[in-house]
Structure 1
Amino acid sequence: MKEYPNYYSVTPATVRYDKRLKPYERLLFGEITALSNIKGYCYSTNKYFANLYQVTVPTISKWINHLKGLGYLRVEMIKDGKEIKERHLYPIVGPINQKVNTPINQNVKGGINRNVKENNTSINNINTNKLGCYAINFYENNIGMLSPWIREDIEDEVKEWNKINADEAEKIIVEALKNAIGAQARNKWKYAKSILSSWKERNIKSLSDIKADDKRHQREVQTRYSHKNYGRKPVEEQIPDWNMQTPKPQTKQSMADIKELMAKVNQKTAANKD
């Protein structure tokens, strides 16, 4: 298959500054526009792109699905009966300046069109529209910048929880992130993933399950504390023996001894002065 990578690519601002897109996804979009110059669509295979960017074919498939889900690509499968003959990728961009030195033609049949509807196909039809957007925004607003691998990991986790509870998948992930923040974990996402894994093992499938599990855990802690202190006698304060002794009353004899002692002291003091 002949490719035409020497044509100019078009990467609109919406693609360049979309934080949901990885850097290589932006490059891939630009490459697709360059390869769409002749016919108005790109017919390159995932294997071609995988060799171009030195990644795996499933990775390219994931990038294309993400671009498609965010509304930047239209994917059309050309079939011969039940067999897929070719795939056409239509980049969806804003108005293109016809004076730019690029042969992209807006009049080509099936060309770049923002308003065109995407054909339903049996391949590459995973709905990734705003995949992980809520969880990713929470992470960036409350924890910090996302590395590419954490972003991809969050998206994969969203897919897994979508199979369990599509309505609350991202909210469950955010709840795990909140627990990681509250625990002051050093690696917030790693801690959150361990919580998510624990919830899966305990068959927790919703936010209400999480609340019920938290209450159950609190009751267990209180029960353990009560059992630990059950049957203990209150500690009585021990009073030392010296504090229990009753002072003896002074007798007349003892007072005389004191007077005699004081007289001797006075005599010695007077002698020293002389």
Structure 2
Amino acid sequence: MTIRSAAPFDEWQEQPGGEVLLDFETTDPWYTLVRLPDGSFHFRVHSVCDYWISADTSQVTLAMHRSAATGMDAVMTTGTLLSLLLFLRGSSVFHGSAVDVDGRAFAFIGHSGQGKTTMATLFCAEGASVITDDVLVIDDLATAPSARRGSRELRLRTGIEEVAARVTGASTRTSADERLVLAPEATMSDAVPLAAIVIPAPSRDGSPLLFRKLRPMDATLALMTFPRLMGWRTEAARRDLLAAASAIASRVPVVVARVPWGPPFEDELANKLSDFLSQAD
């Protein structure tokens, strides 16, 4: 894949006409993907940039809005654009992070701010190595699901510096979107067998740590809630999400973790989760 940068622009133009494949907004629009009549794509990350993508997804032109912060081109390209291209090429992509614990992958999925990266960082503080953050690709769904190696950096929100401080020897920096970026030890494996998927449920009311394993049907519905990109409009994309979620849920434990949210944060999470999984089996 080749990405070229075009000159930044000042005025937003109306998106070109075509089939809307993806459109997501909350209080404001986030991103919209349009397939143009010639088979190419126009992908807008609202208030940040436009991407023009060739029909075979091998060529991308990026144009940033002049108001976007310096460095947001890298943030958007390595997260949002990468997720889109992987999905268009047939990969199963979830909004999650994953770590390697003695050759087994533990993945954490959820919406923004749900604690995925914090959980991954807590595991790294206990000796795990990073597999990926933010963009979780799961391969070999029909046989033995595995987590594909991705970004080695963990992007943490402000206010949880205590968690980052637990990871010894990790370098840090601040990203363009003002996240604390932590680079702990990374896995050397291209893919790590998936031992479990954890959905964090942060608890701020003093409730104790509690794990709950979901039944396959409930796990399928839960996994469908957390694709990396929300708002798919086509039946084909929704069928793909359902098929991936069902295949994973039938082969991998999916656990909801009610975690007391600090600081201070829970200790020995990896061991406690492993003990729970061994008892649940």
Q: TM-score, normalized by length of structure 1? A: 0.28
User: Between Structure 1 and Structure 2, which shows a larger proportion of strand residues?
Assistant: 2
Higher normalized helix content (fraction of residues): 1
Q: Which entry has the higher C-alpha Rg, 1 or 2?
A: 1
Higher relative contact order (CA 8 A, sep 6+): 2
